[in-house]
Amino acid sequence: MSALLITTLQVLLNLLALDNAAPATLEHPRTMTHLMAVAEAIAEAPSTYRVRLIALAYEESRFGYAYAFRGEPVKNGAGACGIYQQIPKFAEGGATTCAKLQDPREATRQAVAYLRYVERRWKARSTASMDKAICHYFSGNRCDDAEALAYAKRHTKTRKKAQRLVASR
Protein backbone atom coordinates (compact mmCIF):
# COMPACT_ATOMS: atom_id res chain seq x y z
CA MET A 1 0.00 0.00 0.00
CA SER A 2 1.46 3.35 -1.00
CA ALA A 3 2.03 6.20 1.44
CA LEU A 4 -0.39 8.37 -0.58
CA LEU A 5 -3.14 5.75 -0.29
CA ILE A 6 -2.56 5.34 3.45
CA THR A 7 -2.63 9.10 3.98
CA THR A 8 -5.81 9.47 1.93
CA LEU A 9 -7.55 6.68 3.86
CA GLN A 10 -6.46 8.19 7.18
CA VAL A 11 -7.84 11.59 6.16
CA LEU A 12 -11.20 10.03 5.21
CA LEU A 13 -11.38 8.15 8.51
CA ASN A 14 -10.34 11.22 10.52
CA LEU A 15 -13.00 13.39 8.89
CA LEU A 16 -15.64 10.77 9.61
CA ALA A 17 -14.43 10.40 13.20
CA LEU A 18 -14.65 14.18 13.63
CA ASP A 19 -18.22 13.83 12.38
CA ASN A 20 -18.88 11.30 15.18
CA ALA A 21 -19.22 8.30 12.88
CA ALA A 22 -19.56 5.18 15.01
CA PRO A 23 -16.30 3.19 15.13
CA ALA A 24 -18.24 -0.07 14.77
CA THR A 25 -19.72 1.22 11.51
CA LEU A 26 -16.37 2.45 10.18
CA GLU A 27 -14.58 -0.77 11.11
CA HIS A 28 -17.14 -3.03 9.44
CA PRO A 29 -15.50 -4.98 6.56
CA ARG A 30 -18.04 -3.74 4.00
CA THR A 31 -17.46 -0.13 5.06
CA MET A 32 -13.68 -0.48 5.11
CA THR A 33 -13.66 -2.09 1.66
CA HIS A 34 -15.74 0.79 0.33
CA LEU A 35 -13.61 3.48 2.00
CA MET A 36 -10.46 1.82 0.67
CA ALA A 37 -11.91 1.97 -2.86
CA VAL A 38 -12.78 5.66 -2.34
CA ALA A 39 -9.26 6.39 -1.04
CA GLU A 40 -7.72 4.57 -4.03
CA ALA A 41 -9.84 6.52 -6.51
CA ILE A 42 -8.94 9.85 -4.90
CA ALA A 43 -5.25 8.92 -4.63
CA GLU A 44 -5.23 8.11 -8.38
CA ALA A 45 -6.79 11.48 -9.28
CA PRO A 46 -4.62 14.39 -10.43
CA SER A 47 -2.82 15.82 -7.40
CA THR A 48 -4.32 19.30 -7.84
CA TYR A 49 -7.81 17.88 -7.18
CA ARG A 50 -7.25 15.37 -4.37
CA VAL A 51 -8.04 17.56 -1.37
CA ARG A 52 -10.98 19.15 -3.20
CA LEU A 53 -12.32 15.68 -4.05
CA ILE A 54 -12.05 14.65 -0.40
CA ALA A 55 -14.05 17.74 0.61
CA LEU A 56 -16.58 17.20 -2.16
CA ALA A 57 -17.21 13.52 -1.34
CA TYR A 58 -17.42 14.36 2.36
CA GLU A 59 -19.95 17.15 1.85
CA GLU A 60 -22.02 15.23 -0.67
CA SER A 61 -22.28 11.79 0.94
CA ARG A 62 -19.76 11.44 3.79
CA PHE A 63 -17.91 9.20 1.32
CA GLY A 64 -20.98 6.95 1.14
CA TYR A 65 -19.85 5.02 4.20
CA ALA A 66 -23.35 4.65 5.71
CA TYR A 67 -24.72 3.27 2.43
CA ALA A 68 -21.82 0.83 2.21
CA PHE A 69 -22.45 -0.29 5.79
CA ARG A 70 -26.11 -0.99 4.93
CA GLY A 71 -25.14 -2.63 1.63
CA GLU A 72 -27.11 -0.08 -0.40
CA PRO A 73 -26.18 1.96 -3.48
CA VAL A 74 -25.27 5.60 -2.82
CA LYS A 75 -28.31 7.43 -4.18
CA ASN A 76 -30.61 10.18 -2.96
CA GLY A 77 -34.27 10.87 -3.63
CA ALA A 78 -33.46 13.46 -6.31
CA GLY A 79 -31.62 10.88 -8.41
CA ALA A 80 -28.08 11.94 -7.53
CA CYS A 81 -25.74 8.96 -7.35
CA GLY A 82 -22.35 7.95 -6.05
CA ILE A 83 -20.05 9.47 -3.48
CA TYR A 84 -20.10 12.87 -5.22
CA GLN A 85 -23.91 12.82 -5.66
CA GLN A 86 -23.91 13.38 -9.42
CA ILE A 87 -27.05 13.32 -11.54
CA PRO A 88 -26.33 10.91 -14.42
CA LYS A 89 -28.07 12.98 -17.12
CA PHE A 90 -25.72 15.89 -16.36
CA ALA A 91 -22.52 13.88 -15.94
CA GLU A 92 -20.65 13.39 -19.20
CA GLY A 93 -23.61 14.61 -21.21
CA GLY A 94 -25.78 11.77 -19.98
CA ALA A 95 -23.28 9.08 -21.05
CA THR A 96 -23.12 7.55 -17.58
CA THR A 97 -25.60 5.83 -15.30
CA CYS A 98 -26.32 5.64 -11.60
CA ALA A 99 -24.94 2.09 -11.60
CA LYS A 100 -21.64 3.30 -13.10
CA LEU A 101 -21.42 6.14 -10.57
CA GLN A 102 -21.46 3.60 -7.73
CA ASP A 103 -17.87 2.79 -8.70
CA PRO A 104 -15.65 5.30 -6.86
CA ARG A 105 -13.21 5.42 -9.81
CA GLU A 106 -15.95 6.33 -12.29
CA ALA A 107 -17.51 8.80 -9.85
CA THR A 108 -14.11 10.41 -9.24
CA ARG A 109 -13.42 10.63 -12.98
CA GLN A 110 -16.76 12.37 -13.45
CA ALA A 111 -16.17 14.70 -10.49
CA VAL A 112 -12.75 15.73 -11.84
CA ALA A 113 -14.32 16.44 -15.23
CA TYR A 114 -16.93 18.65 -13.61
CA LEU A 115 -14.38 20.45 -11.44
CA ARG A 116 -12.38 21.19 -14.60
CA TYR A 117 -15.55 22.50 -16.22
CA VAL A 118 -16.19 24.80 -13.23
CA GLU A 119 -12.61 26.07 -13.43
CA ARG A 120 -12.98 26.89 -17.14
CA ARG A 121 -16.56 28.18 -17.11
CA TRP A 122 -16.19 30.46 -14.08
CA LYS A 123 -12.46 31.19 -14.52
CA ALA A 124 -11.60 29.74 -11.11
CA ARG A 125 -7.83 29.86 -11.43
CA SER A 126 -6.92 30.07 -7.74
CA THR A 127 -7.94 28.08 -4.68
CA ALA A 128 -9.92 31.05 -3.36
CA SER A 129 -11.80 31.58 -6.62
CA MET A 130 -12.55 27.84 -6.84
CA ASP A 131 -13.85 27.94 -3.25
CA LYS A 132 -16.39 30.53 -4.43
CA ALA A 133 -17.16 28.79 -7.73
CA ILE A 134 -17.78 25.41 -6.08
CA CYS A 135 -21.34 26.58 -5.41
CA HIS A 136 -21.95 25.67 -9.07
CA TYR A 137 -21.40 22.02 -8.19
CA PHE A 138 -24.38 22.37 -5.89
CA SER A 139 -26.62 24.61 -7.95
CA GLY A 140 -25.58 24.49 -11.61
CA ASN A 141 -25.41 27.83 -13.41
CA ARG A 142 -26.72 29.98 -10.57
CA CYS A 143 -25.02 30.68 -7.27
CA ASP A 144 -27.08 33.59 -6.07
CA ASP A 145 -29.20 31.90 -3.43
CA ALA A 146 -28.36 31.42 0.23
CA GLU A 147 -28.33 27.62 0.00
CA ALA A 148 -25.68 27.55 -2.76
CA LEU A 149 -23.52 30.08 -0.96
CA ALA A 150 -23.81 28.12 2.30
CA TYR A 151 -22.75 24.98 0.41
CA ALA A 152 -19.63 26.78 -0.86
CA LYS A 153 -18.77 27.87 2.70
CA ARG A 154 -19.21 24.33 4.07
CA HIS A 155 -17.10 22.93 1.24
CA THR A 156 -14.33 25.47 1.88
CA LYS A 157 -14.32 24.70 5.59
CA THR A 158 -14.07 20.95 4.87
CA ARG A 159 -11.37 21.51 2.22
CA LYS A 160 -9.28 23.44 4.72
CA LYS A 161 -9.78 20.76 7.37
CA ALA A 162 -8.77 18.04 4.88
CA GLN A 163 -5.74 20.12 3.83
CA ARG A 164 -4.62 20.37 7.46
CA LEU A 165 -5.07 16.61 7.93
CA VAL A 166 -3.03 15.88 4.78
CA ALA A 167 -0.29 18.27 5.89
CA SER A 168 -0.10 16.64 9.33
CA ARG A 169 0.66 13.20 7.86
pLDDT 10s digits, 23-78: 999 999 999 999 999 999 999 999 999 999 999 999 999 999 999 999 999 999 88
Does the structure show a pLDDT above 80 at 113? yes
Residue 52 burial by Cβ neighbours in a 10 Å radius (0-12, 13-18, 19+): buried
Does the structure show a pLDDT above 80 at 105? yes
What is the count of structural domains for the chain? Answer: 1
Cα–Cα distance between 57 and 64 in angstroms, integer?
8
Which CATH number does the domain housing residue 109 bear? 1.10.530
Q: Span 101-125, mean pLDDT?
A: 95
- Looking at residue 64, its pLDDT comes to 98
The answer to whether 146 and 164 are in contact (CB under 8 A) is: no
Q: What is the pLDDT of residues 126-149, one digit of tens each?
A: 999 999 999 999 998 889 899 999
Q: At what angle do helices 104-121 and 50-61 cross, to 10 degrees?
A: 110
- Looking at residue 116, its pLDDT comes to 95
Residue 75 is inside which H or E element, if any? Answer: none
Range of the domain at 41: 3-167
Nearest in space to 60 (alpha carbons), one of 130, 154, 132, 145: 154
